[in-house]
Structure 1
Amino acid sequence: MTRKPSNSSWLDSLEGVSLIGAVLGTVAGLAFQQLIYASAPLALALIMNFVNRQRHEEELERSLGNRVVETRLEVERQFEDELSRVREETQVEPQESLTTTANEDLLAVQEQLQQLQVQSQQPMLAVAELQQQISSLSTQVVKALGNLENLGADVASGMLQGVVTPASSQENGDSSELAASDVASADEFWERYQQGVRQFTRLQLPGVDLSQQRQYLNGVDFSEGNFNGANLSGLNLGDATFNQANLTGAQLDYGNLSRSQLQQADLRGANLRGANLRRANLRGANLEDADLSYADVTDANFEGANLKGVRFFRSRGHQQVLERQFVEAS
């Protein structure tokens, strides 16, 4: 289905002439400075170019349409030939081969059914095994609960201020007081502390060095203890109690004594440089010649305390302390 040469070849010639005229018109326009010489031939060239483009596109569409039709007819012809061949082979194939194929398919289906039956039995076996394990665990839990009930009585009898102590220590009364009275060195103190002892009233450790440890001695009671010249530098003693304790010349620099109880404590010549004494209770304490430089005494209670010779160099909140002392003295 070939197409004859178009009779519109004159369009190509006219387009070429228009382009030549546009070039000449452009030259003339530049020479005579008249745009008409260039615009008219250029417009004609553009029109002819558009017309030629439309003609070529139409010819291309026709060519592609013809090829598509030819290809479709060829494919249909090949499909019909292949279908005829398959039909002939199907009619010639013996009946026995069909029976054999059907039997093979049936055997395959039976094998798959057997495999499915075996797989369906496996979850049931797993469930039975799981039930046996649950029964065994239930028996163990019952035994453990019985043991816990027996142990609960021993633990309850060993409770002292929220700390569990060995049952044998309860046989002799207050284990905390007994342990504190037996402490004679820093190692013994830390040993008792690790055992849960927090009551160390009347503890006698003059000159002891506890500065090597960095544990938080929260709520420890050192009331009426003797720490004359002891080194307690840098310790965390928040909420600790030193009521009526002897801390003469003790090293408490850069320690945490916030909210601690130091009522009537003897702190003569003690080193409290950089210590945290926020909200500490120093009522009636003796701080003569103590060093509180760079310490934080914000909201601390110094009511009735002896502040003779105390150094408050750059202490935070000491103005409030001095004003209160001045008001009390007046």
Structure 2
Amino acid sequence: MQLIDLQTQYRRIKSEVDAGIHAVLEHGRYVNGPEIETLEARLAEYAGVSHCVALSSGTDALLVTLMALGIGRGDEVITTPFTFIATGEMIGLLGATPVFVDIDPATYNIDAARIEAAITERTKAIMPVSLFGQMADMPAINAIGEHHGIPVIEDAAQSFGATFAGQRSCGASLLAATSFFPAKPLGCYGDGGAAFTTDGALAERMRQLRNHGQTAPYQHSMLGINGRLDTMQAAVLLAKLDVFDDEVARREQVATRYSSALSEHVTTPALDERATSVYAQYTIQVDNREAVRSALDAAGIPSAVYYPVPLNRQPPLYSDVPIPESEAAAERVLSIPMHPYLDPADQDRVIEALIAAVKK
């Protein structure tokens, strides 16, 4: 059994993926091929925004959104400590300071009620993370940003396809960034990502930034990066987009079945009544996590921990700000197999093994 099954997905869309890759091999435009523009248009339409900029990774997508706002040394960006390192890492690499705000223990997303107290005259952006497939409370966060004149960037690396209050992830703030790492709900066969905005000037700036700051060949108006998505990955994503909505529905069915069977035994994911989730992970909370993991491993059930150490307890980003909810979650969270092709028999194996493990 696998935590995430990409092989079954490939078998379903093999002819479309192979045809897309073959088309790229035939035209030979491996960088900036026509598939890039097609993908950007489809992704922008899906998210409900005017502009999508395809990028080489979700990490580079975060970097480019921050660079587009001119964030740098001396600035502060409010974010969550309960996430992957890339969120705080990109802030720090630009010389800015990540200001960590604790999470809502129910959803694992940044607690919007705590954000305003963290704002200072140096705050230049608010970057919520839509974790485990569920969007943060973007209406509340946007309202705070608008009140203080601070732009909001959604780190949507795990939530493309989710909704909150009728808005899609990547379409609910001035800027957003997502990842197409293979394990994501919409993933390519390597690294990939995209940035989204409704602002044409920011979109143009991000397009220049991803290509060494070029405005024309060998004309550089700013310092940028080599952040282009390669055409082969765009072809793969175009094939996967055709089945994406069906896969999201399947993920929801798997999650519903898990929650029904497990809610009396472990802490199951809490979904805001205004939200839908793409369940990038199905994350529970357990006591004695290592013992439970060992029992699952002995039963042939894979598991993972996202994330065992909050960002502000990592040496490069260290801050002694109190984060009790993040620290409590970091000690108890456990992710179990979740993907659209998890059949009921395998899911029953997971459920039975997990219930047995937590009863020991």
Fold equivalence (TM over 0.5) = no
Question: TM-score scaled to structure 1, two decimals?
Answer: 0.21
TM-score, normalising length: structure 2:
0.20
More helix by share: 1
Greater strand fraction, Structure 1 or Structure 2: 2
Q: Which has the higher contact order (CA 8 A, sep 6+)?
A: 2
